[in-house]
């Protein structure tokens, strides 16, 4: 009888409504934070890749194909754990140098990037590369 009276009271209903609104507000806030953080990290990743490509293009312009291959080899040697992914191919996508054995078999996304997963053991688990 006491529980039935409690469930029908306006105070209890108001408290439940407040809890639901608070829970929904927290969910919206956390979703926004996740979305903003993921977008910022993707932008930072894209900027880093573009800087790498620019540096390699400059090296190619100065030293030609041999200089580009040496530069990629140096970068791979500095980070042998695969923190960065490099693959230089010819027109038929035959690998010339890199730490991938073949061109990824995925389609480009709407921004022109290739997003693919590497089977790589890291402390963070599965890694997505662009």
Residues 54 and 60 sit within 8 Å (Cβ to Cβ): no
Burial class (CB in 10 A: 0-12, 13-18, 19+), 5: exposed
**pLDDT tens sequence across 36-93:** 999 999 899 889 999 999 999 999 999 999 999 999 999 988 877 767 889 999 999 8
Looking at the structure of the chain, the number of domains it has is 1
**pLDDT tens sequence across 110-120:** 888 888 877 66
Domain housing 121:
2-129
**pLDDT tens sequence across 97-112:** 988 888 888 888 888 8
Q: pLDDT band for 126, please (50, 70, 90 cuts).
A: low
């Amino acid at each position: 009888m006491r529980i039935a009276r409690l469930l029908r009271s306006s105070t209890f209903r108001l408290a439940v409504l407040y809890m639901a609104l608070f829970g929904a507000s927290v969910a919206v806030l956390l979703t926004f934070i996740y979305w903003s953080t993921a977008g910022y990290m993707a932008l930072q990743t894209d900027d880093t890749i573009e800087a790498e490509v620019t540096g390699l293009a400059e090296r190619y312009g100065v030293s030609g194909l041999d200089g580009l291959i040496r530069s990629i080899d140096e970068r791979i040697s500095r980070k042998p754990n695969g923190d960065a992914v490099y693959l230089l191919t010819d027109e038929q996508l035959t690998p010339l140098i890199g730490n991938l054995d073949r061109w990824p078999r995925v389609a480009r996304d709407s921004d022109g990037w290739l997003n693919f997963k590497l089977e790589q053991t890291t402390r963070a688990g599965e890694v997505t590369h662009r």
